[in-house]
Chain A
Amino acid sequence: MPGKDPFTGKLKWYKSEGAVAVYSALISILIGMAVGAVIVIIVGMAKANISTKGIWEGIRLVFLGVFSTGRDSAGNLTFGFNGVNIGNMLFRATPLIMTGLAVAVAFKTGLFNIGAAGQYLMGTMGTLSVGLWLGNSGCPKGIAWLCAFLTGVLLGALWGSIPGIFKAFLNINEVITCIMTNWIAANLVTWWFDAHDVFKNSAEGGKVGYIIPLKNVGVVTPKLLMDKLFAGSQANGGFWIAILIAVAMYIMMTKTTFGYELRACGANRHAAKYAGINDKRNIILSMAIAGALAAAGASLYYLSGNTEFYWSTYQKLPAEGFNGIPVALLAANHPIGVIFSGVFMSMLNISGIQLKYLTAYNEYIADIIIAVIVYLSAFSMLFKTVLSKRIKHDTGNVNAEPVPADDDSPPESLDELVSEVAEAVEIAETVAKKGGEE
């Protein structure tokens, strides 16, 4: 992001590293949307019940779904400001921003947090349990809200710290432990709610598979103007809280000694150690913070009040956890960028819903676009490298060692790039697979 990062170089803002990250993210998004449009065309031509007009409608909805206002009396699509859509977009963006932050912050410390799903589930469990318990106990609703939120965050932090501890002391790859803790969390949460009938929604018919929504006990995030801005939508103050947390993360990572330590550990663990930074402590803390962030996403989602949690989740991990990865990748792990990429991802989701309601397409087109962008966001690092090289050539980098035989850094970084891309593609595949199972 072009911002006033105190450590940015003297390049013009549109050539800064942040700007390049934005360009490469935009390239991924554009290609993803274009592929989506192509799929809309192919599906439209293959299905007899979709006319040429229908195809054109589909394409418009893919790009502008969030501004769709339905159909006019003549049956044509209409577009304009749609408070419900935009409000719902922001509402759905909230957990994505938080899990995106959970991935981004860990990544800055050199850790790949693929455990956001498990951390998210732990947050769900903590928030719902404490929220329902305190909500029924007659404790002031404000305090109940705070306790529910903090319990979720704390459980997430603990859950996140487990892979951190394994990484720090036994050097076990956090990706493996994260995958394991994800499924442990899924089973743990299922067991917990299975054992506690008080939390199950037995009052409403056919809802016993769900946990009682928090609005029933009045433990709900205040709307904080969201109901005025986007009347009729699910939007609430949780989105503002997510933005505040993102800004806080940005400040923590760039302005504080703690962030300095975390980033040093991520960029060069050996040098951090040499400087006397406790790398083990920082790895654990980083994962704990990541876990807290993912869990906060779950807390804010369920504290909105009317969301319902299907508790028998032992075979299924929440998609929000994995979608945090493309959110973070698209934002190049910048905490402020995560706000935008999170909103964008949720916008695609809204487009999918509009497609489903207004055309003969189903909402899975949106999932395909997301999947393509996930793939491409892995390549956004490649775009970034190519773009940065271009820009460097333009400005004539006189400092770089001119004699290639003496300079081993380019192949080194290329290796890094290749391995990072390979890793990211692998993750993208996992995500795509997970998406397909649901």
Chain B
Amino acid sequence: MSEYIIEMNHIRKEFPGIVANDDITLQLRKGEIHALLGENGAGKSTLMSVLFGLYQPEAGEIKKDGQVVKINNPNDATALGIGMVHQHFKLIDVFTVLDNIILGAETTGALGFLKKKEAREKVLALSEKYGLKVDVDAKVEDITVGMQQRVEILKMLYRDNEILIFDEPTAVLTPQEIDELMAIMKGFAKEGKSILFITHKLNEIMAVSDRVTVLRKGKYIGTVNTKDTNKQELSNMMVGRPVQLELDKKDATPGEVVLKVEGLTVPSKIHKNNAVNDVSFEVRAGEILCIAGIDGNGQTELIYGLTGLEKATAGTITLCGKDISKASIRERALSGMSHIPEDRHKHGLVLSYTLEQNMVLQKYKEPRFQNHGFIKFGEVRQYAEKLIKDYDVRSGQGPVTVARAMSGGNQQKAIIARELDREEPLLVAVQPTRGLDVGAIEHIHNQIVAERDKGHAVLLVSLELEEVMGLSDRILVIYEGEIVGEVDPKQTTPEELGLYMSGAKRQGKGVE
């Protein structure tokens, strides 16, 4: 019996123009929780796709229990007992939980009828044994995201998988749910199951894993025992240079009110209730106010109502002393609001436009960039080149790169460059670091703090608890379209925030 249940030795996988995996070795012991850490594009997903049989490596071998195996497709992987919880769940919304779990592994009787009763008993037994609470008869569309994840886990257990891969499993969970998941994972490991845990969140790695393998830009950096390392060392390994984990920021010195929102109500497009219901708050110059909450609790609609992308049915918005409740999107922007949108592909960029065209998305009408309606291409080029230089936006062909061809991180950098350079008194930043890696996040956080220190007001919407706690000066928690609490990040704990975020706790109405 080999020491390792799965070994991936010297894996090399190339794509046209790039080596996604260059001599990577990953060894998973039986019964351990092994974290796979790396930035976006480090090659984690490619490596897992190789293990799952979606790609064939150019070099290297995969061993199961010391025997070399060939994994040609996902069915081979399943046969070897490898199961995976994908970051984006692969569930059928209109099927019940039970149907989703047995889908693809149905047991049938002589005439091809489903043996659902046996399946149900097996699922219930597994659910009981591991504390994975699910309602087997509920439709997937009606259950919470946390329960959907438990369904995914049950799918693996139902197939008697021994090797469980979790791909960024905590991205969609509340702090309480994350704790539960960690406990479940530890339970699996104790049972003798082996877990590969893909993540970029250092806290979780420290909390749950036994060993960590770090990848960077397609290369194997090293494998360390979790108990012999710390967050700082891991992040340095991941990024390749010393990273400052704790934001170095001075206390806020709030000035006058820049944005005042009173009784804002925005209808929902999905259900009959209001997505944002009677929300009031203020943001002052020189402070970062964060709206925290679990995804889908009205943050998006709140920002749409604020920026004019959607019509508010009630409430007033005052920006720099001017009532902009009825103003157009452009008027609001010109009244002093810059906006880093939540969805950079939907709102932030015209992907088929070049980088320079995107850089002047709001500014093209300024006299500087046009003369009697004719665009001054020279000026646009110069301005774009300046932003690219100042904000270190990297792209293949500089200003004439088509936005679609840029990496996600650089697309976001381009948007941030464009918005910060407008130097407006209010910056609305919605999930400004979504999908970015540690190095980029550090950079963007520093820029947002610098913006605050210049005396601008910052309204931040974030789903990342670490970001909420680290970056903001004041936190408002939104739950089902209402502000349920205001807390001071210096005095609160993630647990308390989690209670507000899940609706378990709320302060009295009329919170300012």
Chain A residues within 8 Å of B, Cβ to Cβ: 6-10, 255-258, 260, 263-264, 267-268, 270-278, 393, 396-406, 409
Q: What's the least CB distance linking B77 to chain A, in Å?
A: 15
Q: A274-B341, A276-B362, A405-B45 are in contact. Are A399 and B400 (CB under 8 A)?
A: no
Known: A10-B400, A260-B375. 18 other contacts (CB 8 A): A7-B357, A9-B397, A257-B370, A257-B374, A267-B351, A268-B349, A268-B350, A268-B352, A271-B347, A275-B330, A275-B362, A276-B328, A276-B334, A397-B405, A401-B41, A402-B17, A403-B45, A406-B41
Residues of A near B396 (CB, < 8 A) are 397-399
Chain B residue nearest to A401 in the complex (CB): B407
- On chain B, the residues within 8 Å of A268 by CB distance are 346, 349-352
Q: A7-B400, A257-B370 are in contact. Are A403 and B20 (CB under 8 A)?
A: yes
B309 near A: Cβ within 8 Å?
yes
Query: B406 an interface residue at 8 Å Cβ cutoff?
Result: yes
Let me know if B364 and A257 touch, CB within 8 A: yes
Please state if B351 and A403 are interface contacts (CB–CB under 8 Å): no
Chain B residues with CB under 8 Å of A8's CB are 400
Tell me, yes or no, whether B16 is within 8 Å of chain A by CB: yes
Q: Are B370 and A267 closer than 8 Å at their CB atoms?
A: no
Given A399-B405, A403-B45, check contact A257 B400 (CB 8 Å): no
Q: For the complex, would chain B's binding face be called helix, strand, loop or mixed by DSSP majority?
A: mixed
CA distance A8 to B46 in the complex (A): 33
By the criterion CB–CB under 8 Å, are B46 and A403 in contact? Answer: yes
Q: Which chain A residue has the least Cβ–Cβ distance from B435?
A: A406
Per-residue contact bits, chain B 352-373, to A (CB 8 Å; 1 contact, 0 not): 1110110001101100001001
Cβ of B395 within 8 Å of any chain A Cβ, yes or no, is yes
Please tell me if the beta carbons of B353 and A267 are within 8 angstroms of each other in the complex: yes
Cross-chain contact of A264 among B353, B373, B404, B405 (Cβ < 8 A) = B353
Some 29 contacts from A to B, beta carbons below 8 A apart, are A7-B353, A7-B356, A8-B400, A9-B402, A255-B374, A256-B374, A257-B364, A257-B375, A260-B375, A264-B361, A267-B351, A267-B352, A268-B346, A268-B351, A271-B348, A272-B350, A276-B334, A398-B18, A399-B395, A401-B41, A401-B407, A401-B408, A402-B18, A403-B20, A403-B43, A403-B46, A405-B46, A406-B45, A409-B404
Distance (whole angstroms) from the CB of B401 to the closest CB of chain A: 7
Query: What is the CB-to-nearest-CB distance from B68 to chain A, in angstroms, rounded to a whole number?
Result: 25
Contact between A6 and B347, CB atoms less than 8 A apart: no
Q: How far is the CA of A264 from the CA of B353 in the complex (A)?
A: 8
**Complex-state Cα separation, A273 to B330, whole angstroms:** 9
Residue in chain A with minimal CB distance to B14: A402
Contacting pair B41 A402 (CB below 8 A): yes
Residue of chain A at shortest CB distance from B358: A271
Contacting pair A399 B375 (CB below 8 A): no
- Cβ-defined contact, A274 with B339, below 8 A: yes
Q: Are A270 and B16 in contact (CB under 8 A)?
A: no
Interface residues of B (CB under 8 A from A): 15-18, 20, 40-41, 43, 45-46, 48-49, 307, 309, 328-331, 333-334, 339, 341, 346-354, 356-357, 361-362, 364-365, 370, 373-375, 377, 395-397, 400-402, 404-408
| Complexed CA–CA distance, A8 and B357 (Å) | 11
| Inter-subunit contact A406/B354 (CB<8 Å) | no
In whole Å, how far is A318's beta carbon from the nearest beta carbon of chain B? 33
Interchain residue pairs A-B with the least CB separation, the first 6: A276-B330, A405-B45, A402-B18, A274-B347, A399-B396, A396-B17
Q: Which residues of B contact A399 (CB under 8 A)?
A: 395-396, 401, 405-407
Q: Hey, which chain A residues are within 8 Å of B362, CB to CB?
A: 275-276
Our pick among B339, B377, B402 for the contact of A6 (Cβ within 8 Å) is B377
Q: How far is the CA of A393 from the CA of B17 in the complex (A)?
A: 8
Closest to A405 in B: B45
Contact pick for A402, options B15, B351, B356, B375, CB 8 Å: B15
Q: Which of A10, A267, A406 makes the CB contact (< 8 A) with B397? A: A10
Given contacts A256-B375, A397-B396, A397-B405, contact A271 B361 (CB under 8 A): yes
Q: Which residue of B lies closest to A398 (CB)?
A: B17
Q: Which residues of A contact B374 (CB under 8 A)?
A: 255-257
Q: How far is the CA of A255 from the CA of B377 in the complex (A)?
A: 8
Q: Hey, which chain A residues are within 8 Å of B354, CB to CB? A: 7, 9
Residue pair B46, A264 in contact (C-beta under 8 Å): no
Question: What is the CB-to-nearest-CB distance from A132 to chain B, in angstroms, rounded to a whole number?
Answer: 37
Residue numbers in A under 8 Å from B347 (CB-CB): 270-271, 273-274
A405 touches B49 (CB 8 A): yes
- Complex CA–CA separation, A276 to B18 (angstroms): 38
Q: Give Cα distance in the complex from A406 to B20, angstroms.
A: 12
Q: Name the residue on B nearest A258 (C-beta).
A: B373
